[in-house]
Amino acid sequence: MSDQKITIRELYSDPEKYAGQVITVDGWARQLRIQKKFGFIQINDGTYFKNLQIVVESEKSDNYDEIKSQNISTAFEITGELVLTPEAKQPFELKADVVKIIGESTSEYPLQPKSHTPEFLRSIAHLRPRSNLFSAVFRIRSEAAFAIHEFFNQQGFMYVHTPIITSSDAEGAGDMFRVTTLDPKNPPLTEDGDVDFSEDFFGKASFLTVSGQLNGEAFAQAYRNIYTFGPTFRSEHSNTQRHAAEFWMIEPEIAFAGINEAMDLAEAMLKHIINHTLDRCRAELEFLNETVYDGLIDRLEKVAKSDFAKVTYTDAIKILQESGKKFEFPVEWGSDLQTEHERYLTEVYFQGPVFVTDYPKDIKAFYMHINPDGKTVAAFDCLVPEIGEIIGGSQREERYDVLVNEIEARGMNIDNYDWYLDLRKYGSTPHAGYGLGFERIIMYLTGVSNIRDVIPFPRTTGNAEF
């Protein structure tokens, strides 16, 4: 056999198969070191994290001078013999016979092999996936997304595309972006001098969604088990490492089920995502373990094997109060847990993932199922070491009267919830669900600490480039 086009992934998965054969590969130069008589080019073809070392010789290549003048990121097509090199750093190399230049690069190529600040790399978001770090991060993002679809599909869950543009503001979930086609300078006005949104594209004021949950609940009352996986938006000006204006969320919803079934589902889902990533992205994780977060693989393997603990919010408060530890924020029943509290619980006390359940009603959303005590709701947060909260969920209030009372007690406009209340009128069932911020799990899987570095083209205050 000769001159077969092979991907670098194929080479790494079965080098013996190609040893001694003449093959053709193509890809981009990640490094070049070309001397007078011979040289080395590290080629990456995008199919695999690792490079293939190409050995070029001036005697064999007519165009050796041209090769010598190339820069990092030039695209090559190379034909040659694959030689196993068990004693070298790399397991094999390709001894080039023919080196074809597909597309040249220049010496101004911004991603030179030296240390760059994360800020600079964000400014070249169109090029940064060519670096080792981002190559690893975004492949893990891709595989984690697939793992999520695979997990829910295998379990018979329906994937629902809930709407991105919405006219209902899911109360309390955060500030929203307006979506409009009105003239921004001279919008039409009503007789009262207000902006006349009846003239806008959708005939009323419209926004970008903050959550697909309410729509998802409608589908769960038809299909039993559903999930959403789509972009969601927040227009808060929070310039932190953990907030982006645009991010992706996974929101499963299960009918004929309560908080325990939802927690079991969350635990199984997290383990599936982790195991899939460990299985499919080993080279990427090893790189991240070495360069970004020492102990990353160990952390993931531990969580994948652990049984998640459960503790009520009320007991968690007691544990914190009796810990003898001084916290910055006070610990008292009725206040939300702060990150320092969450981390104490998961890292020190339980030393592993833990579900905290049954939070005080007043610090949680209107749609959560009120427990028999009248003070707490059947809500849960899943806390993991070194991150804190990674998932938040609840049983939903399935009782029409209780839900109406709660909406009114909170001073919300009940007219906005007519269709949502319908779900409690026509065969309501106990049901539950949760939300997983996709970027948060990617940060957990990669050890990367800034959300801007796990999103291909991040959108934050003041930034919608590319």
Q: Which of residues 40-69 bind a copy of itself (CB under 8 A)?
A: 45-47
**Among residues 346 and 460, whose Cβ is nearest to a copy of itself?**
460
**Among residues 164 and 292, whose Cβ is nearest to a copy of itself?**
164
Nearest Cα neighbor of 424 from 451, 447, 405, 437 is: 405
Residues 302, 444 contacting (CB under 8 angstroms): no
Long-range CB contacts for residues 231-238, cutoff 8 Å, separation at least 24 = 231/164, 232/208, 233/176, 233/177, 233/208, 233/209, 234/174, 234/175, 234/176, 234/210, 235/174, 235/175, 235/176, 235/177, 236/174, 236/175, 237/461, 238/461
Task: Report if residue 12 touches a copy of itself, rule: CB under 8 A.
Answer: no
| CB 463 to a copy of itself: min, Å | 6
Distance CA 207, CA 164 (A): 8
Q: Which of positions 298-337 make contact with a copy of itself (CB under 8 A)?
A: none
Q: Which of positions 334-353 make contact with a copy of itself (CB under 8 A)?
A: none
Query: Among 103-111, 303-311, 330-338, 373-381, which window interacts with a copy of itself (CB under 8 A)?
Result: 103-111
List 129, 174, 258, 360, residue binding a copy of itself (CB under 8 A): 129
**Among residues 168 and 339, whose Cβ is nearest to a copy of itself?**
168
**Among residues 194 and 328, whose Cβ is nearest to a copy of itself?**
194
**Among residues 105 and 338, whose Cβ is nearest to a copy of itself?**
105
Q: Which amino acid is at 100?
A: K
**Among residues 386 and 465, whose Cβ is nearest to a copy of itself?**
465
Sign of the alpha-carbon torsion through 399, 368, 233, 195: positive
| CB 213 to a copy of itself: min, Å | 13
Helix (H, G, I), strand (E, B) or coil at 185: coil
CA angle (197, 203, 204) in 5-degree steps: 50
Q: Which of positions 140-169 make contact with a copy of itself (CB under 8 A)?
A: 141-142, 145-146, 149-150, 153, 156, 158-168
Q: How far is CA 62 from the centre of its chain?
A: 47
Residues 414, 171 contacting (CB under 8 angstroms): no
**Among residues 86 and 372, whose Cβ is nearest to a copy of itself?**
372
Distance CA 370, CA 397 (A): 7
Residues 42, 30 contacting (CB under 8 angstroms): yes
**Among residues 7 and 314, whose Cβ is nearest to a copy of itself?**
7
Q: Which of positions 184-213 make contact with a copy of itself (CB under 8 A)?
A: 184-185, 187, 189, 194-195, 201-204, 206, 208
| CB 257 to a copy of itself: min, Å | 10
| CB 357 to a copy of itself: min, Å | 23
Nearest Cα neighbor of 353 from 268, 260, 251, 242 is: 268
List 4, 112, 181, 291, residue binding a copy of itself (CB under 8 A): 181
What the block records as the tokens of 203 is 């005939």
Distance CA 155, CA 399 (A): 28
Task: Report if residue 414 touches a copy of itself, rule: CB under 8 A.
Answer: no
Residues 283, 132 contacting (CB under 8 angstroms): no
Task: Report if residue 139 touches a copy of itself, rule: CB under 8 A.
Answer: yes
Q: Which of positions 234-293 make contact with a copy of itself (CB under 8 A)?
A: 235, 237, 245-246, 248, 255-256
Q: Which of positions 420-459 make contact with a copy of itself (CB under 8 A)?
A: 420, 422-430, 455-457, 459
**Among residues 223 and 349, whose Cβ is nearest to a copy of itself?**
223
| CB 217 to a copy of itself: min, Å | 9
**How far apart, in Å, do the first and last CA atoms of the chain sit?**
44
